[in-house]
Amino acid sequence: MTIKKPGHLPACVLFLIGVLVLSSPVLAASITQSPDQVSRGERLTLSIRDLKNNDTFSLLIEGRFEVLPGSSFLFATDNFEMPISLVQGEIIAYTENTRESMLQIKKGNVTMGVGKVTGPDGIFSYSEKRDIGGGTYDRMRLTGTALPGTTSILTRLQLLGTKYGPDTSDISFTVDGIDKGTIFLTVVVNDRQELFREVTVRPPVTAPRRTMDDYIIIPTSPQTATTATTATTIPPTPQTFSSVDRFASVTATGIPYAGLVKIPPKDVPPKWILLSSVYSIAPDNLVFPPAATLSFAIPAQKDPGTSYAYFIGTYENGAWYILPCIATETAIEGQIERAGTFALMAYKPESTIPATTAVTAQATTPAATITVAEIPKIASIAQAEPTAAPTKAPLGWFVVAGALAAGAGLVIRSKRTK
């Protein structure tokens, strides 16, 4: 009789264990947020679980609040604690309806400020590619002055990059500067939207002083019937929601909010050229009845003498597809019925058809089977850059810069304690 030594498992059992380990699903990141209402000075927390290193992470914080015309404003996410780091990242700031704006960031002994007097459109936009280190940021603020005649301000702050650090952590910050408004929080991990939350900023609650009337029951007269009136239906007004870099926008009817979150590109077909950032529309369950107009600004001339076939690409289930679209003088536009992931694309020059031919796609076509004849619209790349998408020269993060032209300026300062 053969006696098996203790501790030895049959080969079939080891094989089965190996198959189970290899076939076990990889846990997706889980992100939650609390609370859903805050007052000025209270703290918001994003709880992150199973966020792996090398995952791409994008956080968009958007604030909408009321102001007095021509008054100063402040939207602050102070004491910003972020245990993770975002390498090869980018920070983007944006304000709307402002006469002048400034982004202020302070971490330890280093302070950074970027300010600009806005143009007639009241838009301030700034972005810089850089590593974003983990830790506590004492101050992350957008400040400035509202345009005369405006009563509302829109602010956006976005952080994105490749994540390194603990898989489990909390990102938190205190809300300051506004007493009443709304904050929209969107987080995209890789190409998947993991969080979308609408947080109400409410005025501080104060206990009312009681009087004797609070304890006296006053009799009421019998109610009389009232004549019902029919309310006048006001047709919904289309609203345009733009990305933080103003390159892409969605114009929709009957939608209170749509966010365009910039995310890293993925799986671009070899014969395609990515001409914009990739944007995920939030919330991801958003539908547009009627269809919304998705628009991408035509980029500036990059290759004189060469015409490109522009089109909008949509990313679904790990593959890129063509969205039927048309070209205007300044933009490429397509109709969408629901949220998704989109980017402005073109064929590489060797796949481009002559610019004298205009072809409209009849249906969304998988990237793997695209042919030249299915290009939605031909538009020359040799066009002036639209005013809606200005470019900015990259600026050092903590480098002292000189004054810019009159009416607009950039100030970056570094202060270290001795």
Q: Tokens 């007097």, residue?
A: 117
Give yes or no for a contact between 201 and 183, defined as CB atoms under 8 angstroms apart: yes
Structural domains in the chain, CATH included, are: 30-202 (no CATH), 239-380 (2.60.220)
SS3 label, residue 168: coil
Going by the DSSP 8-state scheme, the letter that residue 21 receives in this structure is H
> What pLDDT is recorded for position 118?
77
- The pTM (predicted TM-score) of the whole model is 0.71
For 100, other C-beta atoms within 10 Å of its C-beta total 20
How many Cβ atoms sit within 10 Å of the Cβ of residue 250?
24
Assess whether pLDDT exceeds 90 at residue 147.
Answer: yes
For residue 301, the model assigns a pLDDT of 62
Half-sphere exposure of 217 (CA within 13 A, CB side): 1
Q: How confident is the model at residue 311 (pLDDT cuts 50, 70, 90)?
A: very high
**CA dist., res. 142 & res. 140, Å (int):** 7
| Residue 365 Cα distances to 80, 168, 248, 308, 311, angstroms | 44, 40, 22, 19, 12
Output the pLDDT for position 182: 95
* Confidence grade of residue 308 (pLDDT, cut at 50, 70, 90): confident
Query: How many angstroms separate the most distant Cα atoms in the chain?
Result: 101
pLDDT digits (tens, 9 = 90+) for 352-387: 443 333 333 333 434 333 333 333 333 332 233 333
Confidence (pLDDT) at 116: 81
